[in-house]
């Protein structure tokens, strides 16, 4: 195991740590929890829980917010900040079992 790590580390250092990885959904999705962390499905709050939503439901909602098909006070302003691919990755990540 240590040898594998060494090889990986060497490869990483050769290419330089500054090279960006591909879209990391976590980098976007972690920010969803700022507002949605305190909304377990069992509690009725005005900010919906993400727990019971499927990937398709989350992705559709995000796209509807982005393209002004679903009115809301805040989410349309946020969803416009991301590409459709990024929103799909976020939906995939947030719905992961």
Partner 1 sequence: MAGLSRRRFLQGLAGVGAGVLGGCAGLSNLTGAKAHVVVVGGGFGGAAAAKYLRLLDANIRVTLIEPKAKYITCPASNWLFAGLTNLDQLTVDYLALQDKYGIELVVDSVSSVDAARRRLRLTSGQSIVYDRLIMSPGIDFRWDAIAGYDQATAEQFPHAWQAGPQTLLLARQLQAMPDGGVVLMAVPADPYRCPPGPYERASMMAYWLKQHKPRSKIIILDAKRSFSKQALFEAGWIKHYGYGAANSLIEWHSLADNPLLELDRQSRTLTSEFGDRFRGDVLNIIPPQTAASIAVQSGLSDVGGWCPVRPLTGQSLFNEFIHVIGDAAHYASIPKSAFAANSEAKACALAVASLIHQKPVAEPHWLNTCYSLITPEHGISVAGVYKLDAVSAIMSVKGAGGVSVRNDDEAAALEADYARVVYRSLVADTFR
14-43 residues near partner 1, rule: CB under 8 A: 15, 17-24, 26-28, 30-31, 33-41
Q: How far is the CB of 9 from partner 1 (least distance, A)?
A: 4
Listed in sequence order, the residues at least 6 apart from 83 whose beta carbon sits closer than 8 Å to its beta carbon are none
Q: Residues 44, 50, 52, 54: is their CA dihedral positive or negative?
A: positive
- Cβ proximity to partner 1: between 54 and 69 the closer is 54
Separation between Cα atoms, residue 62 and residue 84, nearest integer Å = 9
46-65 binders of partner 1 (CB under 8 A): 46-47, 50-55
Task: State the residue for tokens 């002004």.
Answer: 68
Rounded to a whole number of angstroms, the minimum distance from the CB of residue 44 to partner 1 is: 11
Check residue 4 for interaction with partner 1 (CB under 8 A).
yes
């Amino acid at each position: 195991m240590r040898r594998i790590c060494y090889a990986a580390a060497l490869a990483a250092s050769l290419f330089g740590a500054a090279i960006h990885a591909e879209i990391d959904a976590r980098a976007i999705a972690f920010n969803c929890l700022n507002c949605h962390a305190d909304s377990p499905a069992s509690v009725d709050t005005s900010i919906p829980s993400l727990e019971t939503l499927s990937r398709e439901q989350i992705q559709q909602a995000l796209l509807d917010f982005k393209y002004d098909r679903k009115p809301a006070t805040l989410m349309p302003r946020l969803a416009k900040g991301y590409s459709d691919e990024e929103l799909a990755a976020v939906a995939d990540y947030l719905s992961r079992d």
